[in-house]
Every structure is written in C-alpha cells, then in structure tokens.
Structure 1
Amino acid sequence: MPTAEEMLSTDSVVALGAVLRKVEPGLRFAALTAVPGKLAGTSFSERGLLVRDALLADLPAGYAPVEQAIRAALTQPEFTGWMIWPVTEAVAVRATSGTEGPQFEAGLELLAALTPRLTAEFAVRTFLAADLDRTLAVVTGWTKDPDEHVRRLASEGTRPRLPWAKQVRAILARPGVTRPVLEALRRDDSPYVRRSVANHLNDVSRSDPALAVEIAAGWLADPAPTTAQLVRHALRSLIKAGDPAALALLGFEPPGQLSVDGPTLSVADVAVGESLEFSFNARNDGAGEVRLAIDYVVHHVKANGSLAPKVFKLTTRTLAPGEAVTLGKRHSFKPISTRRYYPGEHALELQINGRPFGRATFTLTTERPRKPNLRDLNRGRSSGRGPG
C-alpha cells in the first residue's frame, strides 16, 4: 500500500496551489500555501483534511466560488492525481451545507466531472449521509453516462462498506436501496465497472446474505456472457463463510461422499516471516460428478490466547465418480499491515463446500534472525567492519 507521502505528497499540494492560482489569479490561497509545512508525520486522512480545510478557508463563502474555481481548474491537464481527493471533499462540504438549494445536485455533477481525474467515491458519502434519496436520484442517472469512470462512481460511491470510507447508516439500514444502481450496471461493457458491481453486491451480502443471493440468482436466470464471473466474485465472502444458499446457487452441493486425507503439514513449527506448506488428497466416492469449492482456514492465535479463524481461497475442482486429486499450498506468514501475528499453537483446517475437513496443528514462533548473505558480508568488508 502506498505511503501517505506517496499519495498526497508535498509536491502534489504545491502543484494544486499552482493550478488554482493560475485559474483564480485574484486569490492568494494563503492557507493552502501553508499546508506543505504541516504535512510531516501526518497520515493520509490527516493530509486530506488539512488540504480540504485550507481550500475552504481560501475560497469565498458559498458553493458558487468553489464550483467556479474547480471548473476552471478542470481545463488544466495538470489538475489530476491525488490532489483531487481533498478537492472533492471540499466540494461535498460546500454543496451539502444547505441541502434545500440547487447546489446539492450541482455538487454531485461536479464530482462526476472530477472522478475521471482520480475518483470522487469518498466524497459521494457526504451527499448520501445528508440526503440519501436525493443523492440516489442523481447517482442512478450516472449509470447511463458514456464515461466508465462516472458509471463506476455510481456503484463504488454507494457501496455499503466502501474501504477507507465513512459508513452511511441509511444505506446499511436499507440493504436493497442501491439495487437499481446494480441492476443498471450488471451488464456494463467495462470490466472496471462490473468489478465494482461485484464488490458492491459482496458488501450487501455482509449485511443481508439472503438478499445478495436473491439478486445473484436473478442475474444468473437472465445472464450476460460476463454474469457468471461477476456473481462468483460477488458471492466470494458467502462462499468463504460456507453459506448454503450461495454455495448451492453456484453448484456446490454438500459433498456427502467425499473422502479427504489431510491436511499434512510440511513442518511442525514455522516462524513469522516464513511459509508453511500443506497438502491433502480428496476422492469422490459417489456415483455422480461433484463440484468442489476448496478453501482452507488458518486459526490464528489472538493476543488473549484464543483462536480466530481466517478463511483463504484455494481452488475449485470438479471430480468424476471415483476420481481423486492431490492438492497443496504454501501459506505465507510474512508480516503485513492488516494482521498481527502472535506466537503459539495455531491450526490449519480444510473447508470444502462450506464444510470442515481435517485439522492439523502447528506452532508459530517469533521471527528468526536473518542470516547475513554475501551482499551483507561484502558491505561489511567495504566499510572496514566485520559481518557481526
């Protein structure tokens, strides 16, 4: 994941100021000019707020001056990239400050104009929180826009659980409220748009699994050539959770006559930073063909010593009567920002068509000291120091 400096850097803030002074020569943009000196040690969200608030301080009161400046900036090709993020947030604040006026719809249309330069999906949330139905009336119109970025904005901006974004309680309380947007875009020509639709329906599945399966079933009953792939991606969380309705919809029936041997682990202990290999055998003992969704579950040790399961996708297989298959996987315990590892006895379990098969335990230990390699030894010699 990029760092805050890589996304909203000092250079991008300076460039934003240059663009705005170029198109609005009568404004000094003093607050924005001071922002680069405040960025050290700040997170991305903090940087966004600093720039947004500086813009609101520098531009005259009301919505019209914001629209005038941003529309003018859109004529400049250098007005693009991460500098757009805080600009969209400033637009949202001014446009929703008085929801009774025409600036509400005007602000949304300005977001549609900005989104091809980066994205405006996060700023849409401010409009949704201010007036859900009024916003959706505009957003639904975006589904017919000739620009794929605007069509994607309709789906992505209204996602119930958009990553990095604030949640909109009204959407979570009404899981089907965005369904018209999804129905309008599910056959979209752009893979970029269809992937957003799949992610959106996956968000719906976390709040209302039955509704997500119902929507997906309707799409599969009247499919486009791309529908099956879209539905598989949309129902991925339900498949990992072993949801029977989602599994059945995708053809994964309960594996009643499946024999599984394993999992067999390559080692009994593994250190943080290393990988664990495992393998298993599966055989179809039934009289008919069986389609398998094969996942595996790592039961991680938590800080309090209890275990927390995390499901990982492995593969899908179709086995003829009497057919057997041997499969394996290497699972990495390389440190990542979204998970903290704790030493202790972990477990690995197979999950096939939503049902558990086999379980093997292993011990996760702390990260082993890295052994010096040839480059390290040469670096030590060149600096007059030994390898130690």
Structure 2
Amino acid sequence: MATMPVMADAFKNLINPATVAAMAQHLGRVSAHFDHDAFVARALPDLDGLEFKARAMQLADALEQALPADFSLASQALVNALGPPGQGDDLSGLRTGDQGLAGWALWPMGEFIARHGLADPARGLQALHAMTQRFSAEFAIRPFILAHPQLTFETLARWVHDPSAHVRRLVSEGSRPRLPWGLQLKPLIADPSPTLALLAALQDDPSAYVRRSVANHLNDIAKDHPARVAEWLQRHLPDASDNRRALLRHASRTLIKQGDAAVLTAWGLGAELHGQAALRIGPARIRLGEAVELSLTLRSTAAAAQALVVDYVVHHVKAGGSTSPKVFKGWRVQLAAGEQRLLSRRHKVTPITTRTYHAGWHRVQAQVNGRVVAEAGFELGVD
C-alpha cells in the first residue's frame, strides 16, 4: 500500500461489520484479557455512515476500550491474532481467514500501536514488524520515527536485511518524508540524511516492490532537496544495472519534468536543442471540458542525433489574473541529424477537485531538455 487509493464508496466498505466480527473473534480467541462485547459495542455504531479513515479510527478507538491497559499484553494479543505472513511482493490478496487477521483489519491495529506503543517503543516496533507482513505499517511507524528517532533508525538499519520483502519495503516507505496520506516527517523534510544509507542498501534489492518504494522515497527528497538527488545520480548511475537504472529514472521523474539541469545532465539530456521549434495550438478558444490539439514541430540543425525530453507547460489563469505553471509529460525523442519531427498531443481541460479553472488566455510553453523552445496559447471560457 504505497499510497492510499481514491476513497470510493466501494473502497471504504473494505472495513465493515464483518471486519469487526472477525477482529472480535480472533482477538477473543488468543487473549483472555480482550473484552469482546466492549469492542463490538464501540466499533459498530454508525459504521456504515463513516468514510474510510473514520472507520479505521473508530475501530482503533474500540480496541482501546477492549484491550488490556498493559501494552505488553495488548500488543501480544494483536500479534497473536495475525494470520500467516504474506509471501512474495504482493499483499493485495491477503484476507482475514480462519487462521487469523490480515488485510484492512490491520489498519486500526497499527493505529493502536502508534497511539500506545511510544511508551514501549521496542515492543511497539516488534509488533509493527509482524503486522507489516500482513498489511502495511507505513502509517503506524511514523510516530516512532518522530518520537524515538535513534532507536527507530537503528531498527530500520537491521530491517534492510530482513528476509521479508514487506519488512524491507517498510524501511523505505515508512520513512518517506512526504508519504501520501501519512503523517509528514518534518525533520526528514528538512534533512533527509538519516534515510540515505537505508536507501543505498535497498536500491539493488531483489524485490521490485522494495525498489519501487526507494524510487518514490528519492522522488520525495527531490521535491525539497533536488541537489541531493542530482548528487545521488552522479554516484549511483554510472555502471548501474538495468534494475537500478529503472529505479533512478523513476526517482528522477519530478526533476526531469521541472527541467533540472544537473539531473538532465546526469541522464545525458542536458544539452539544448540544436535546431528550431514551432508550436501551434487549435482551436484558439475552448470551453471547460473541451480540448486543444498541441502540434510541435522540431527541426534539427545538428550533425548528430539528439536525445530530447520534450514536455509542455500550461500556465493556468488564477482568480486574480496571475498564472500558475503546470508541467505535463510529453515525449522522449531521438532526433536524427537534420530530421524534422511533428509531435502532437490532445490536451483536455477537465474539471478536477484540485484545481479551479478561470477564464482567460492560457499560455503554453514547449520545453526541450528543460529549456523553453516555443510558445503559443488558447483562450479558455468557463461560463
């Protein structure tokens, strides 16, 4: 669970009354100290009316009512109620069954550990080590990083060698500075140094699941410390295996889109276009929900082929009349000597929840290897 999916109604129903019943059954089976009736009475009321995260938090509240106050007893009960660990890279098929709990039932269980394990962090981390192999503990481990950084990073340094890919992935995913839907780790946003040795140890992990997390973690760092990622590429890209190159390219995606000169140079894409570029956009005016066609003509005047990353930037009009640029991925082009190439893309201006569109002239810039080479625009009407 690298990111939290969109909260559709069907998705939130993954935590439901059957989840409550299964948790009550398995926790009651393994612990004489678990109060079955108190758990159900706190977990079920109005559950169907709650959104997804609220459901998980209500079940965590119910665990607080039903588990013993002694954290050692409570955490042991949660661990003993778990089903068999997941094998391989994929946890999506894990479900609670006769042998114990797995899947989404573990979100509220991890939340309980995050709330109550900080007073006994070694035991709390041990519980998360078990839980992450049946679901994920990427959210629950983050309070431990903030409250007990030395102990937690010493633990993570051991876990990079764990036989479970799910534990190794937790090392990277749980310590991502800007994990989507997770608690931001502001000390690591300010200084990502504590995680760098962990990422170096994991970037050649045999599991694609782990390597994908490392790429996303490095991309998080790139948003605040682009020079750190450029330096990482200078050290780790030469003579890299195919798997590492794929990881590092994914880690570079934000900085490549932004046209970061050092990162483009590391990938052999730092040179400016030797030639001409012309951008045409039609129609000249559209309404919200319609599309324009972008046509970019590149003509090489070079004597050798050119490796080009071609993106485009739409400058969206804001309420006060100023504009805000948004980079969109375009094309990767090998432009031969003297070649003329036409690139086209349909760009639809669709209402989305994260942006309010305003009427006006929307400037569009084509950029090659991070440098603007051509410009045009279109008029947007929103009434």
**TM-score, normalising length: structure 2:** 0.88
Identify the match of residue 17 of structure 1 among 24, 27, 30. 24
Contact between 1:155 and 1:196, CA under 8 Å: does it hold in 2?
yes
SS of equivalent residue, structure 1 residue 51: helix
1:95 partner amino acid: G
Alignment partner, residue 8 of structure 2: 3
* 1:106 Cα deviation from its structure 2 partner: 2.3
Q: Give CA deviations for 1:92-136 in whole Å, capped at 9, x if unaligned.
A: 22210x2xxxx3122212212111322110111010011112101
SS at match of 1:318: strand
| Aligned equivalent of 1:210, options 224, 227, 241 | 227
Deviations 1:293-335 (A, max 9, x none): 1111111122333211111111211212212211111223233
Report Cα offsets for 1:145-191 as digits up to 9, x if no partner: 22211111111111111111111222123222101111111111111
Find the counterpart in structure 2 of residue 250 from structure 1: 267
- Alpha-carbon deviations, 1:3-36, whole Å to 9, x = none? 2662353333444334333433652252443333
Q: Is residue 110 of structure 2 the alignment partner of residue 93 of structure 1?
A: no
Q: 1:73 aligns with which of 65, 73, 81?
A: 81
CA contact (8 A) 1:253 1:353 kept: yes
Q: Which residue of 2 aligns with 1:30?
A: 38
- 1:50 maps to 2:66: no
**Equivalent residue number for residue 236 of structure 2:** 219
- Name the CA distance, whole Å, in 2 between partners of 1:157 and 1:16: 25
Contact 2:42 2:65 in 1 (8 A): no
Q: Which residue of the partner structure matches residue 306 of structure 1?
A: 322
Deviation at 1:138, TM superposition (A): 0.7
CA drift of 1:270 comes to 2.6
Match of 1:82 among 104, 107, 117: 104
Structure 2 residue 188 is matched with structure 1 residue 171? yes
Aligned residue for 2:242, secondary structure, equals coil
SS in 2 for 1:287: coil
Match of 2:148 among 114, 126, 131: 131
Alpha carbons of structure 1 residues 16 and 334: separation in structure 2 relative to 1, 3 Å: farther
Counterpart of 2:8 in structure 1: which amino acid? T
Distance 1:336 1:366 in 2: 13
CA contact (8 A) 2:138 2:174 kept: yes
Aligned match of 2:365: 349
Contact 2:24 2:36 in 1 (8 A): no
Counterparts of 1:220 and 1:165, CA distance in 2: 30
The corresponding residue for 1:285 is 301
Instruction: Give yes or no for contact 2:79–2:131 (8 Å, CA) kept in 1.
Output: no
- The 3 A distance-change label for structure 1 pair 255 and 225 is same
The structural deviation recorded for 1:341 is 2.7
1:301, 1:343 within 8 Å by CA — same for their partners in 2?
A: yes
Q: Contact 1:21–1:29 at 8 Å: present in 2 too?
A: no
Aligned residue pairs total: 361
Letter in 2 for 1:9: I
Quick check: 1:92–1:123 contact (8 Å CA) kept in 2? yes
Q: 1:83 to 1:301 in 2, by over 3 A?
A: farther
Q: CA deviation at 1:214?
A: 0.9
Maintained 8 Å contact 2:305/2:337: yes
Taking the aligned partners of 1:51 and 1:363, their CA distance within structure 2 comes to 50
Q: Assess, with a 3 A threshold, how the Cα gap between structure 1 residues 331 and 275 changes in structure 2: closer, same or farther.
A: same
Q: Is the 8 A contact 1:267 1:276 kept in 2?
A: yes
Decide whether the 8 Å contact of 1:343 with 1:366 is kept in 2: yes
Q: Is the 8 A contact 2:273 2:368 kept in 1?
A: no
Taking a change above 3 Å as real, the CA distance of residues 240 and 335 of structure 1, as seen in their structure-2 partners, is: same
Q: Quote the residue 1:121 is aligned against.
A: 138
- The code of the aligned residue for 1:231 comes to L
Q: Does 1:339 align with 2:355?
A: yes
Question: What corresponds to 1:375 in structure 2?
Answer: none
Structure 2 Cα separation of the partners of residues 216 and 86 of structure 1: 39
Kindly indicate whether the alpha-carbon contact (under 8 Å) linking 1:295 and 1:311 is maintained by their aligned counterparts in 2: yes
Which whole-Å CA distance do the structure 1 matches of 2:254 and 2:62 have between them?
40
Are the structure 2 counterparts of residues 4 and 66 from structure 1 closer, same or farther at C-alpha, using a change threshold of 3 Å?
Answer: farther
Deviation at 1:82, TM superposition (A): 1.9
Q: For 1:191 and 1:86, how far apart are their aligned partners in 2?
A: 27
Q: Does 201-210 or 1-10 show the bigger shift?
A: 1-10
- Deviation sequence 1:19-59 (CA, Å, 0-9, x none): 33343365225244333323355443333322222212221
> Taking structure 1 as the reference length, what is the TM-score of the superposition?
0.86
Cα separation, 2, equivalents of 1:69 and 1:339:
46
Match of 2:3 in 1: none
User: In 1, are the aligned partners of 2:83 and 2:134 still within 8 Å (CA)?
Assistant: no
- Mapping of 1:192-211 within 5 angstroms? 192-211=209-228
Hey, what does 2:252 align to over in structure 1? 235
- Provide the residue aligned with 2:89 in structure 1: none
Seen in structure 2, the aligned counterparts of structure 1 residues 276 and 9 have a Cα distance that, compared at 3 Å, is farther
Shift of residue 282, structure 1, vs aligned partner: 0.7
